[in-house]
Copies of this chain bind each other. A is one copy, B any other.
């Protein structure tokens, strides 16, 4: 089993500090929704974020979570029932994604879905919970509750490896259930101490990569090594 954790994803509702900014008020009016119920989105709230929000350069990026989820949910490894996906947010919420979720492809409607999730804490169909949000979950807490053999953190500061060979050596060492932690922010570094949380911190390229590029590398190579009977 492969557990994918998108860590410190820049997914949050518009914070109090910028509720009274004209750009936020105008967006709220257009959306016919209170600012406190709207997802922060750098593309719409840039001028307000820039003025009053700490770490504004990296915040308000639900698009990263969206594409990460589309890539991982649609992966062959997930279709084979071998993937568990959890999104951890900057405010220490954990979002558990049911592997059979057919995620909305259309970004504006994905935003609406996430807003509903933040409000109701879960999105359900008749017979299953597709998305569930739990508060007060640090990455450490999430890692503790999943039961895996090996926790691997992905970071440009990690030890440079070739991922196919790395998974091969994990397999040879008898590891089967592995968790991979991937940063859900556009730039900068993890806030958490990744070296303490993960058994190993690795890097697969000499430069920053998108969260979904790392996700592709992980899922495809996981299939190649751990699910390789065609």
Contacts and interface: CB of A to CB of B under 8 A. Distances in A.
Interface of A: 41, 43, 63-64, 67, 70-71, 74-76, 79, 105-109, 160-162, 164, 204-205, 207, 209-210, 212-213, 216-217, 219-221, 224, 228, 230
Contacts of A74: 209-210, 212-213
Contacts of A162: 228, 230
A74 B107 CA distance: 19
A158 to B, nearest CB: 14
For chain A, what secondary structure do more than half of its interface residues adopt (helix, strand, loop), or is it mixed? helix
Contacts of A79: 205, 207, 209
Contacts of A228: 162, 164
Given A107-B63, A219-B216, A70 B210 contact: yes
A141 to B, nearest CB: 30
A217 B67 contact: no
A46 to B, nearest CB: 11
Contacts of A63: 105-107
A71 B76 CA distance: 15
